[in-house]
Structure 1
Amino acid sequence: MERQVFIVDDQEEDTRLDLYLSNQLDQLSRSFIQKLIEQEKIKINGKQEKLKKYKVKENDVVEIEIPLPERLDIKPENIPIHIIYEDEDVVIVDKPQGMVVHPAPGNYSGTLVNALLYHCKTLSSINGVIRPGIVHRIDKDTSGLLMVAKNDKAHRSLAEQLKEHSIHRVYAALVHGNIREEKGTIDAPIGRHPVDRLKMTVTDKNSKNAVTHFEVQQRFGNYTLIEAKLETGRTHQIRVHMAYIQHPLVGDPVYGLKKEKYHLQGQALHAKELGFLHPSTSKYMEFKSPLPDYFQKLLQIIENSSRQN
C-alpha cells in the first residue's frame, strides 16, 4: 500500500475531493479515486466519514492510501510490426494508426508492447511490466516513428535526452482552417482538463510548460498541412496546441470539430522524423517515415475538392 499526503492551498479551495486528488495524481482516474473514497482509503484531517461530495478547504490535510497494482502477465504476441532499425540497444518502429502503444487496464493484448516482446525478446525494465522499453508514446490514432529501449542503460540515455529536449521530433498534421502565417511557435502550458479527465487543456493551473513550433507545408482552402516540431513532449501536445489557436486537427475525436466532413479513424497526425544520439556510440541517428496511405489519400481527396471549389 502506498500512502501520500497533501495539504490544500488557497487556489484549490472548494474543489471536490475526487477532482482535487485527480489533479494531484495524474496516474489515477477520478472514478478510481471515488472507489477509494467508498473503501475509506482517504482521510481528511484524520477522518474518513462523509467524504463522497466533500469540497476541500485551505490547509486540509488529505491522506490517500493507494493499493499496489496487481501483478500482470503481459504476453508476447506474433503481431506484424514495421521495424525500420534495430540493434542491441534500440528499436525504431513505424507504428500504424489504430495500434495502442502499451497495455492498460481493460486492454492487455494487441498492443505494440505485446508485439515487441515477441519480436525482440528483451526490453528495458525501467517502466515496469506494462510499459517495458517504452521511452515515449504516441497516441493510438497517431501513426509514425517511435523509439524503444532494449536495455536499461539505453532507456536512461534516451530518457535523459527527452528530458533535455534534445530529441528531434517532427510531425505532419492536417488542420482545419487556413493558417495565414508561414510559421509560428505556440508556447502555452498544458495540464489536465479540470472537468474532463480524459482531456488535456492549455491552463496555468497544475500544468507544465509546452512549446510547439509549426511551419506551413501546403494550403488547401479550408485546410492546412503543417509540419510540427516538438520542443517539449506533453500528452496530446500538438492536438491541444492546434485546437488552442483555433486550428484543430482534422479527424481529432477529442479536440476536433463535432461534425467532420471526412470519416477518419482518428486525427491526421504522423510522426515523420525522429533523431537522437545513440545510447552506446553517441552518434547522431535520424530516421524518416513517409506519409502513410490513409494520410496521402486524405490529402488527395482534399486537394481535388479544393480545386473544384
Structure 2
Amino acid sequence: MRRNNNSPRRVGGAFKRSETPARNYKVTEPSELLLFLLNKLSNQGRNSVKSLLSHGQVSVDDKIEKAYNYSLQPGQTVTVRKDKTAEAPPLIGLKILHEDEDLIVVHKDAGLLSIASAQETELTAYRQLTAHVRASDPGSRIFVLHRLDRDTSGVMMFAKSERIQQTMQNGWKDIVHERSYVALVEGSVKKAEGTVSSWLKESATLKMYSSPYPNDGQHAVTHYKLLQASRGYSLLEVRLETGRKNQIRVHMQDIGHPIVGDKKYGSRTKPIGRLGLHARVLAFTHPSTGKLMRFETEIPKTFMNVFRDPAPK
C-alpha cells in the first residue's frame, strides 16, 4: 500500500508528519560536527547552522547533539531536521542532579508527588520528567525505580528504559549501596544509635503498622544514629536496610519519637510546616558503566533551625 506523504509516520514511539523530511549525511572521515555541517550545508550561513544545533535539530546516529566540537567518526550518520525540538517546560519542585542515557537522578522538594494514581491529575515528578525527556525525543519514556512520599524531600531516581528499570529492581540489594535519610523527630532520643526491626502490614485505612506477630507482613529493618538533640527534638541519620512503604515513619513512632509534622503516625507538633524527613544520600553502581555513583544533599536548614529555638512547652 502506498503511503500518503502527509500521513503520520511513527518515530521512536511518537507520531510525526513527514512534510518536513530529515536530511541524512554519512560521515566518511573524522571531523568536528560544526565543520561537517558547514561543509554539507554550504548554502547556509554559519549562524544558521549554529542555530540548527542549538535548537536540537541535529542528531548523530539518532541521538540529538548540540556540541559544536562533537567528534564525528567514519560510519556515523548525521541527521538534520527542519522542525525545531520542543523546549522542555521548566521543572517545578524538582532539580536534576544527574542525567545520562539510562538514568535521571533528581532532588524532589517536599509537597511534590513522585507519581500520581490514574485518578489524579496534579503535577508530579514523573509527569515533569516525562515532558523533559520528550522535549528532545518525543518517543522517550521514564520508568519508576522507587518513590518518596509527597511530603518527603530529597534524592530519588528514575530509569529511562524498561530494561534498566528491570535490571535495577531485580538487583536492587546489590546495586544500591546506600539510602540514608535525616529525620527530625519529637523528643530527646537517648540512645546514640539503634536498629528497629518489625513486620509491616497495611490497615484497611491504608495506614502501615508493625504487626505484633513474627512473619506477619513484610520484614522491615531501619538503622538510626543520633546527630543532634535538644529537650524538644532530635535529628537522626536513618539508613534503610529494607525499603517498605512508610517504613521510617512507622519505626520512628514505634520507638516513641514520631517524625515532626507526621500526624498520621503520632506526631503532635509541626515546627517546620512540613514532614521532617529528607532523603539525603543515594549511592549505587551504575547498571551500564559499573561506576559507583553517589549523591548527597544538604540537611534542610529548617531542620536545623528548631535547635536554635526554645524547646516547645
Name the TM-score, length of structure 2 as normaliser.
0.65
> Which residue of 2 is the match for residue 143 of structure 1?
153
Alpha-carbon spacing, 1:91–1:263, altered in 2? closer, same or farther (3 Å): closer
- Number of aligned residue pairs: give it: 220
Query: In the alignment, residue 196 of structure 2 is paired with which amino acid?
Result: I
> Which residue of 1 is the match for residue 106 of structure 2?
93
2:276 pairs with 1:264: no
Deviations 1:2-48 (A, max 9, x none): xxxxxxxxxxxxxxxxxxxxxxxxxxxxxxxxxxxxxxxxxxxxxxx
> Which residue of 2 is the match for residue 287 of structure 1?
295
Provide the C-alpha distance between the structure 2 equivalents of 1:139 and 1:231, rounded to a whole number of angstroms. 18
SS of structure 2 residue aligned to 1:158: helix
2:111 pairs with 1:111: no
Provide the C-alpha distance between the structure 1 equivalents of 2:119 and 2:90, rounded to a whole number of angstroms. 20
Provide the C-alpha distance between the structure 2 equivalents of 1:174 and 1:200, rounded to a whole number of angstroms. 20
> Which residue of 2 is the match for residue 180 of structure 1?
190
Provide the C-alpha distance between the structure 1 equivalents of 2:198 and 2:123, rounded to a whole number of angstroms. 35
Query: In the alignment, residue 277 of structure 2 is paired with which amino acid?
Result: L
Deviations 1:156-176 (A, max 9, x none): 222123255844100000111
- Cα deviation for residue 108 of structure 1 reads 2.3
SS of structure 1 residue aligned to 2:171: helix
Query: In the alignment, residue 221 of structure 2 is paired with which amino acid?
Result: V
Query: In the alignment, residue 107 of structure 2 is paired with which amino acid?
Result: D
Alpha-carbon spacing, 1:164–1:298, altered in 2? closer, same or farther (3 Å): closer
2:91 pairs with 1:79: yes
Provide the C-alpha distance between the structure 1 equivalents of 2:241 and 2:175, rounded to a whole number of angstroms. 6
> Which residue of 2 is the match for residue 154 of structure 1?
164
Higher Rg of the two aligned structures: 2
Deviations 1:27-75 (A, max 9, x none): xxxxxxxxxxxxxxxxxxxxxxxxxxxxxxxxxxxxxxxxxxxxxxxxx
SS of structure 2 residue aligned to 1:115: helix
Q: Which runs of 5+ in 2 are unaligned?
A: 1-87
Provide the C-alpha distance between the structure 2 equivalents of 1:192 and 1:156, rounded to a whole number of angstroms. 26
* 1:200 pairs with one of 208, 214, 219: 208
- Cα deviation for residue 77 of structure 1 reads 6.3
SS of structure 1 residue aligned to 2:127: helix
Provide the C-alpha distance between the structure 1 equivalents of 2:272 and 2:157, rounded to a whole number of angstroms. 30
SS of structure 2 residue aligned to 1:159: helix
Contact 2:175 2:284 survives alignment (8 Å)? no
- Cα deviation for residue 241 of structure 1 reads 0.5
Query: In the alignment, residue 305 of structure 2 is paired with which amino acid?
Result: Q
- Tell me which moved more, 296-305 or 230-239: 296-305
Aligned residues with identical type, % of pairs: 34
Provide the C-alpha distance between the structure 1 equivalents of 2:217 and 2:277, rounded to a whole number of angstroms. 24
Contact 2:168 2:175 survives alignment (8 Å)? no
- Cα deviation for residue 302 of structure 1 reads 3.6
Provide the C-alpha distance between the structure 1 equivalents of 2:188 and 2:308, rounded to a whole number of angstroms. 14
- Cα deviation for residue 299 of structure 1 reads 2.5
SS of structure 1 residue aligned to 2:130: helix
Provide the C-alpha distance between the structure 1 equivalents of 2:129 and 2:310, rounded to a whole number of angstroms. 40
- Tell me which moved more, 89-98 or 76-85: 76-85
Provide the C-alpha distance between the structure 1 equivalents of 2:174 and 2:207, rounded to a whole number of angstroms. 26
> Which residue of 2 is the match for residue 301 of structure 1?
306
Contact 2:175 2:285 survives alignment (8 Å)? no
Query: In the alignment, residue 79 of structure 1 is paired with which amino acid?
Result: L
- Cα deviation for residue 262 of structure 1 reads 2.4
Contact 2:197 2:222 survives alignment (8 Å)? yes
> Which residue of 2 is the match for residue 37 of structure 1?
none
Query: In the alignment, residue 213 of structure 1 is paired with which amino acid?
Result: H
Provide the C-alpha distance between the structure 2 equivalents of 1:103 and 1:304, rounded to a whole number of angstroms. 36
Give the aligned CA root-mean-square deviation in angstroms. Answer: 2.4
SS of structure 2 residue aligned to 1:303: coil
2:249 pairs with 1:239: yes
